Amino acid sequence: MSRLLVRFKSDLVIGSKKYITDEWTNVPTAITKLVGRNLYKQPSHPLAILAKRIEKRLEPLGFTSYKGFDPVVSVHQNFDSLGFPDDHPGRSKSDTYYINKDTLLRTHTSAHEIECFQTSPTPGYLITADVYRRDTIDRTHYPVFHQIEGARTWSSKDPQLIKRLQDDLAAIPRPNNIEVEDNLPPFSETNPKQDNQSDEVTRLIGENLKRTLEFIVADLFKTPSSTVDKMGKDKAKGISGGSPSEPAEKTKIRWVEAYFPWTSPSWEIEVFWKNEWLEVCGCGVVRQQVYDNSGMPDSVGWAFGIGLERSAMLLFKIPDIRLFWSSNPKFTDQFKEGEISEFQDWSKFPSSYKDIAFWNDSNLHENDVMEVVRTFGKDLVENVQLVDTYHNPKSKKTSVCYRITYQSMDKTLTNEEISTIQNQIIDTLTAKGAVIR
Ligand code: FA5
Ligand code: MG
């Protein structure tokens, strides 16, 4: 009881600011420590290289680039202003890092849509930032990742709107190094258009959005030959790993229907990578309510949000999302501003796993289990997987078994190190009501 009281009264420090905590507070120190790392602002970091590349492509088409918005935003900015329904799972404490009831670490760059709509001096804008989500642990998920968001607006009152949309569409270069699969109609019953927009306006905005994103994706996946030369030389110097330069192949991408509370119709773009389709971007035609909330009701347009890590993993061939946070010079010194180069894995240290099985009597959410693992395992955990669930119909109890895979980027872990972490995880889960089997 006394421990709870102390916690309620204490402040949470993020960067140089203090925040009042309450029963919503769920941001652990492991996460607050990552605020302000600003990976996307270090010019030779892969995330920054990608963001810059997208900016350079879109700025000539009328886009202003923003950076440096505070990751601490209001519930209103992140959810309400975008029309997230009250029961949207994204709002829950199990999915989002709350500082307190009204304040959180932004879960997406869309939290800044309204201020960007209001301040952008150009019809389009881009914003790059770190975003925070309580999520599973594996090679493509990390609680902090980065997005670049883009939006493009037109005036709905423009008497020449159709002509302008047609001209703007014609101005987007058509790449020939991608193979696009798009069998979707411009809008449909399941992916409806805005009531106050004509069919043709919706179609043209959707086309503009899709062609813009294809242009970006096609540019990113075009590796300059200079990169291959440079890597060839590096290999001669004896840096291990890497595969011989590959022949230029068309990158397969496809469009799928999606849902976002503040866009309709909405889509996702997926890239075919290592035999699977990977979602890299969500997007759609901005809903009228968002323009109304921005005080610019006579607007139409689109918005997209690209996950930078996923694209960077494809492009730089970075095998594990944890690497982006590495300050090991073997990682950081590999990359050069403006260049997409193939990551040279310096070494693979062995991984080993330990299972943890418990009766989930206190109904712990999977993301709560993940948070406990992250708190003690930090970046030594490569993957956490639910390998078994058993429901006993008589006792009405559920047993779960999670497999925790340990692997360090820098050394071989000893059994003792792993056991120490595993025991801390077990103790903490037990304290939270799990009954270890
Ligand atoms: C969004 O975050 C929306 N804000 C995108 C958007 C913007 C839609 C504007 C419409 C208009 P989503 O939750 O799907 O959508 O995330 C966008 C991208 O971020 C995903 O496609 C994925 O590439 C990346 N992403 C999502 N979760 C993670 C994670 N835990 N780790 C790394 N990347 C992630
Ligand atoms: Mg998604």
Q: Supply the CATH classification number for the domain 34-71+106-332.
A: 3.30.930.10
Instruction: Give the separation between CA 218 and CA 43, rounded to whole angstroms.
Output: 22
Residue 133 has pLDDT above 60, yes or no: yes
For residue 271, what pLDDT band results from cuts at 50, 70 and 90?
A: confident
pTM: 0.87
Ligand 2 geometric centre to CA of 7 (Å):
34
Structure tokens at 393: 């119909």
| Best residue for ligand 1 mutational test, from 108, 220, 308 (most atoms within 8 Å of Cβ) | 108
Ligand nearest to the CA of 147: 1
- Residues framing ligand 1 (Cβ under 6 A): 108, 110, 133, 135, 141-142, 145, 147, 149, 260, 263, 279-284, 303-305, 307, 309-310
Distance, CA of 256 to chain centre? 18
Q: Is the dihedral of CA 248, 250, 252, 254 positive or negative?
A: positive
pLDDT, position 276: 83
Contact criterion met (CB below 8 Å) for 103 and 19? yes
Contact criterion met (CB below 8 Å) for 147 and 307? yes
Q: Is the peptide bond before 265 cis (omega within 30 degrees of 0)?
A: yes
Which carries the bigger pLDDT value, residue 26 or residue 248?
26
Ligand 2 geometric centre to CA of 231 (Å):
34
Closest CA to 51 of 125, 167, 146, 161: 146
- Mean pLDDT score, 331-339: 95
Ligand nearest to the CA of 260: 1
| Best residue for ligand 1 mutational test, from 34, 210, 279 (most atoms within 8 Å of Cβ) | 279
| Amino acid at site 417 | E
pLDDT digit string, tens, across residues 204-244:
999 999 999 999 988 887 644 333 333 333 333 333 333 44
Ligand 2 geometric centre to CA of 282 (Å):
6
Which residues share a beta bridge with 38?
A: none
DSSP class per residue in 121-177: SSSEEEEEEEEE-----BTTB-SEEEEEEEEEEEETT-TTHHHHHHHHHHTS---SS
Structure tokens at 171: 């101005």
Q: Which one is the CATH code of 348-436: 3.40.50.1460, 2.40.128.720, 3.10.105.10, 3.30.70.380?
A: 3.30.70.380
User: Tokens 């494809």 map to which residue?
Assistant: 314
For residue 9, what pLDDT band results from cuts at 50, 70 and 90?
A: low
Residues of the chain with CATH 3.30.930.10: 34-71+106-332
For residue 101, what pLDDT band results from cuts at 50, 70 and 90?
A: very high
Residue 56 has pLDDT above 90, yes or no: yes
The two most distant CA atoms of the chain are separated, in Å, by 72
Residues of the chain with CATH 3.30.70.380: 348-436
For the question of an ipTM over 0.90, the answer is yes
Ligand 1 geometric centre to CA of 307 (Å):
5
SS3 300: strand
pLDDT, position 335: 97
